[in-house]
Structure 1
């Protein structure tokens, strides 16, 4: 989405789905862990490498801004347990390009061209990294 062409409704929808929902899930996870006396829980937020650098493609500038916000909130969440005297951890994982079904829904031809031209990570690669013993 171009920042200069996006609507407030589109921005809110993207932020609600990808940022506010993440914050709510993290809040509920911490509350649940504390209620159940889980002191060594781990919250893992997966967001895009676009939250570390803004790609040159204009269409993802707003997306990158949202991803930067996810990174910042995860960093804040990582620091909160010190104040709460807890050992609950928070981690952000920012993989590179991952082949997703969503890309095929948004633009099937572009996705096919992109994923055929370079090697990408698969969703299972990310899951395996998270559950690595």
Structure 2
């Protein structure tokens, strides 16, 4: 469990401004899973840097708590279940109505699913829930963002998918999560290629052991590849948020295709 989120789960504006944008025009970001964890940290970072941010998640209360961390900042909270196409359509309609355009989608909403369940015991319902959230939800949001970024004037924007180091190397008993995170890498590459004619850049951030509500047990003991239980180091989620902002601040002529940000001493390289 490296970057697990739920669905509630100061930059210089000129550095990421699309060609043709008026000087001083606020950039607009959409963050899914903005009610907690990495999503909350990234939304807070962007709001503090002067972005207008749409906060999406399944529960309004946590979204409003995220927005309240940056009083007076231009934030819009939209209750959204990313597994539901109608919710995603309503979310992007709210983005257009509220801000008129979209410059950044941080595709972050996701779930680890039932932890510690061997593959032979994982129910189809549990598998489907993880796939619907992590992969289908990411696709629905990316597709809607792609359409909006292609049609808006000036054209273009950026999509950043929240992968995981599980997009490279799995933990034990994580078949659904790992499979969806590997699939996100394919989604990222395809969007990056297909977006070229429309100035739509797409990259992926792979996160390992950021300190969030969902990773607290890593400090007490989590199953390792050799069967041991071991505590693992964690890092501040704000460090991840600053990395996302760096990716977002680049001009659309430049793209961080993949970035890996992890707690320095965590068991990843040579994890087993």
TM-score of Structure 1 vs Structure 2, range by shorter chain: 0.7 to 0.9
Higher relative contact order (CA 8 A, sep 6+): 1
Displacement of 1:102 in angstroms is 2.1
Matching of residue 26 in structure 1 with residue 142 in structure 2: yes
Q: Could you tell me which residue of structure 1 aligns to residue 184 of structure 2?
A: 70
Instruction: Decide which structure has greater helix share.
Output: 1
Q: Which runs of 5+ in 1 are unaligned?
A: 105-109
Determine the structure 2 residue equivalent to 1:7.
123
**Normalising by the residue count of structure 1, what TM-score does the alignment of the two structures yield?**
0.81
> What SS class does the counterpart of residue 37 from structure 1 fall into?
coil
Aligned to 1:107: none
Aligned-residue RMSD, C-alpha = 2.2
Comparing both structures, which one devotes a greater share of its residues to strand?
A: 2
Residue 36 (structure 1) aligns with: 152
**Whole-angstrom distance in 2 between the partners of 1:118 and 1:17:** 26
Partner Cα separation in structure 1 for residue 221 and residue 210 of structure 2 = 11
Give the conservation status (yes or no) of the 8 Å contact 2:211–2:234: yes
- 1:98 alignment counterpart: 210
SS in 2 for 1:94: strand
**Runs of at least 4 residues off by over 4 Å:** none
The number of equivalent residue pairs is: 124
Aligned pair 1:80/2:194, yes or no?
yes
Q: Which one has the largest radius of gyration?
A: 2
Q: Give the TM-score normalised by structure 2.
A: 0.42
